[in-house]
Structure 1
Amino acid sequence: MTGIFITFEGPDGAGKTTQINRLAGEIAKLNRKIVFTREPGGTRISDKIRSIILDPEYAEMKNQAEVLLYAASRAQHVHEKIIPALNEGSIVLCDRFIDASVAYQAHGLGISVDTVLMINRFASSGLIPTRTYMLDIPAQESLKRLHKRAGGDEDAGLDRIELRKLEYHRTVREAFLGIAKEQSDRVLLVNANRGEEEIAADILADFYRLLDQQN
């Protein structure tokens, strides 16, 4: 049985983890193998790289280094975990993938999209998600949720990327919307500025349609 690769994307604070957990619970009822993972991270080496990428202590990190570190983490993750799971017929649910690099590093940092895509196609051996759920919220709401999650302190508990200014997060959101529009055959844009139940219902309905197509 061929596996299915599903990714969740969108601005920080959009509720990706909540919706991944909800979908995983539904998939479990189907007696299908599930692998839940995230980027950056997902393997021992990738998690080490994640700790460097997101640590606010490394404020001096250059944009080129950021792009390459994300790609290095992804290369290990894809080849050690994701591809083997797909070959075993698992449904892989991944919190972020290459779309995030295009939004956060290419558009957000002003690096050529072609360059970021070339690096990440090499890192991932050209792996493309079967379906991507793009959870969308305004940038202002994104930062509001992040600060609430951090306990109300404006900066405490936020990682190096989350600490960037509102304009950066607006640029990232617009990039995600552009990806959803340009690749609507793969990406389902989901309004995440609603209740969790409504969001989950939209995702689940699409997932079952996807499953029917795969069978």
Structure 2
Amino acid sequence: MTTTGFFVTVEGGEGAGKTTAIRSIEQVLMQAGYEVVVTREPGGIAIAEQIREVILDKNNVTMDGRTEALLYAAARRQHLVEKVRPALQAGKAVLCDRFIDSSLAYQGYARGLGIDEIFDINRFAIDGTMPDLTLFLDVSPEVGLARIHANREREVNRLDLEALSFHEQVRAGYRQLLERFPDRIIRVDADQSESDVVRALSDVVTDRLHSRNTTKQNSV
């Protein structure tokens, strides 16, 4: 049984298939010997879920971009100290649907508030805790939004109702982050079939776990 926590985040635009991806990644981590905590942002714990309701409420169309960014950071902080950090300290794997990169792509780039400016807000919130691995499910906005509209069971929130141009900017923001953090963020083509996406994710996570284990062995 592993004794070192492993923090994995899954990112992407609306309709990227994060739910399916997380299920497959969870299986890989469990097979590697981890106890896995699956969670999400904004949310994951009671206070953050309450903030989530405010952020994603379809009636809150007048919400200012900076207000949105600050609410995300507040939810992130509470979720981190209450759920993520304790699990990592206990040697578990934390698998999180969205984390800081969502704020950088959505508010920093797509809302035009500045990636560095939003990063500064979130540095205060996360206090040094960053993912070990981030999987970016890169889906074209047309494909992602079509999936949302075809899935009647999925909630439709305020961000889903943004114009196509906004979702295109979100994708461009993620691609900038991919260039900025190439060692942490790995791109997976999410336009391809579900089985191909699952296979690609499994390969990436398995390779990263192998690298981590090799590094630990060499450091002993």
Query: How many matched pairs?
Result: 211
Give the secondary-structure state (helix, strand or coil) at the position aligned to 2:186. strand
State the match for 1:41 in structure 2. Answer: 43
CA contact (8 A) 2:137 2:189 kept: yes
| Structure 1 Cα separation of the partners of residues 123 and 93 of structure 2 | 21
Residue identity opposite 1:17 in structure 2: T
Moved more, 24-33 or 4-13: 24-33
CA RMSD for the aligned pairs?
A: 1.4
Match of 1:197 in 2: 195
1:79-98 to 2 correspondence within 5 Å? 79-98=81-100
Post-superposition shift, 1:157? 4.8
Amino acid of the residue matched to residue 141 of structure 1? V
Q: Equivalent residue of 1:59, what SS?
A: coil
5+ residue gaps, structure 1: none
CA distance in 2, matches of 1:138, 1:210: 26
Deviates more, 1:205-214 or 1:133-142: 205-214
Deviation readout 1:7-39 (Å, 9 max, x if unpaired)? 000111010110101111232233421000000
Which residue in 2 is equivalent to 1:166?
Answer: 164
Q: Identity over aligned residues, as a percent?
A: 39
Code of the residue aligned with 1:202 in structure 2: it is: A
- The equivalent residue for 2:20 is 18
Corresponding position of 1:120 = 122
2:218 corresponds to: none
2:150 to 148, 153, 157: 148
User: How much does 1:112 deviate?
Assistant: 2.1
Runs of 5+ unmatched residues, structure 2: 214-220
Contact 2:28 2:205 in 1 (8 A): no
Measure how far apart 1:102 and its partner are.
0.6
Tell me which of 162, 175, 178 is aligned to 2:176: 178
Residues 25, 119 of structure 1: CA spacing in aligned structure 2 closer, same or farther, 3 A cutoff? same
2:59 to 57, 60, 84: 57
Equivalent-residue separation in structure 2 for 1:30 and 1:19 (angstroms): 17
**Cα drift, residue 145 of structure 1:** 1.3
